[in-house]
A and B are shown apart, each in its own frame.
Chain A
Amino acid sequence: NAGVTQTPKFQVLKTGQSMTLQCAQDMNHEYMSWYRQDPGMGLRLIHYSVGAGITDQGEVPNGYNVSRSTTEDFPLRLLSAAPSQTSVYFCASSSTPEGAAKNIQYFGAGTRLSVL
C-alpha cells in the first residue's frame, strides 16, 4: 500500500544545475499535482495534470516543467535551478479531476530541496 512516493527525500543543488523530482502513485488516480511549501506562504500549486498526456500550470509554474506520459508518474523538472527554488516540494494525487465532494488529495512525504 505505497500510495504516493516521492524521490529523493533531500537534494542539494548548485545554481544552474538541473534535476528531476520523481513522483509515482499506485492508486490509479487520474489527477496529480505538484506544490511547493514555503514559510508564511502555505502550499502553492506549481503544475497539475488531469490525466496522462494532459498538464496545466498552477500558481507558480515559472522555472518548472512537467510531463505525464503514464497515469502513475508525474515528474517535476528544474532545468536551471535558482536559489529561489529552495523549498519543500509535495506531490499529490486524487481519483477524479472534478471538484466533487469525494475529491480527496493524497500527499507524498515531500522532497526538501536546497539550491546554493
Chain B
Amino acid sequence: GNSVTQMEGPVTLSEEAFLTINCTYTATGYPSLFWYVQYPGEGLQLLLKATKADDKGSNKGFEATYRKETTSFHLEKGSVQVSDSAVYFCALIGRGYQKVTFGIGTKLQVIP
C-alpha cells in the first residue's frame, strides 16, 4: 500500500533560518503529492501540491519539488517566521481513488 514518511519533530528554528522538512513516499504509479499545514487549534489547510515528476509546488514562500527518482517531496523555506509555527503534513493521493495517505506530521517551532 501507499505510505508517507516524515520526521515527527519538533523542529526548532530561529526566525529567518532556512527550513527543510523531509518527506519520502511509497506508492504504485505516479501519485499526486501535497503539503498541508495545521495551525494550533485549527484544521488542516492545503499549503502546496505537485501532480507529476519535477513539478514544483509553491505558496507563501514554501516550496517542494516532486522527485520521482528519489521518491521525495521535501518542504523548504528560505526564511521562516514565528507565524510559520505549525504542524506540517506530507500527503499523497494515488491515481484512481480518493484515499489520502498522510505522514505523521512534523511540528515546527520558530523562536524570535
A→B interface (CB under 8 Å): 4, 6, 31, 33, 35, 40-45, 48, 50, 58, 90, 92, 94, 96-101, 103-105, 107-110
Contacts and interface: CB of A to CB of B under 8 A. Distances in A.
A44 to B, nearest CB: 8
Closest 10 CB pairs of A and B: A107-B43, A42-B104, A101-B51, A43-B102, A107-B44, A99-B93, A42-B102, A109-B43, A97-B98, A99-B97
Contact of A110 (B36, B43, B97): B43
Given A40-B104, A104-B49, A58 B43 contact: no
A9 B17 CA distance: 35
What is the interface of chain B mostly: helix, strand, loop, or mixed? loop
B111 interface: no
Contacts of A90: 43-44
B68 interface: no
Contact of B32 (A6, A40, A99): A99
Contact of B98 (A4, A43, A98): A98
Contact of B95 (A6, A99, A105, A110): A99
B98 A94 contact: yes
Given A48-B98, A99-B96, 8 more contacts: A33-B98, A42-B89, A42-B103, A45-B99, A94-B98, A99-B32, A99-B98, A101-B51
